[in-house]
């Protein structure tokens, strides 16, 4: 499953996990992606993978089931 938001294009980012002693190891941060039913502008209903920031910002309109 791809972890990319279909609205804003947010995707995982890489960085370093730093321990108390300063030792570094690679790690990933993943966006909070949810699979939601979205009502498109043309009235069609489609399942999309959308990040929670886009849902909260109102960039999509959820479809009523």
pLDDT recorded at residue 65: 74
* 2: pLDDT strictly greater than 90: no
Tally the domains of the chain.
1
Token digits of residue 59: 């960039």
Give the count of beta carbons closer than 10 Å to the beta carbon of residue 64.
7
* 1: pLDDT strictly greater than 80: no
Structural domain boundaries, residue 55: 1-65
pLDDT recorded at residue 50: 98
Prediction pTM value? 0.83
CATH code at 12?
2.30.170.40
Helices (H), 1-65: 52-57
* 21: pLDDT strictly greater than 80: yes
pLDDT in tens, 36-65: 999 999 999 999 999 999 999 999 999 987
Buried b (16+ CB within 10 A) or exposed e, 11-38: eeeeeeeeeeeeeeeeeeeebebeebeb
């Amino acid at each position: 499953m791809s972890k990319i938001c279909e609205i804003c294009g947010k995707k995982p980012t890489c960085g370093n996990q730093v321990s108390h002693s300063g030792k570094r190891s690679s790690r990933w941060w993943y966006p909070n992606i949810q699979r939601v039913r979205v009502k498109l502008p043309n009235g069609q209903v489609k399942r999309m993978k959308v990040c929670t920031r886009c849902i909260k910002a109102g960039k999509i309109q959820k479809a009523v089931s």
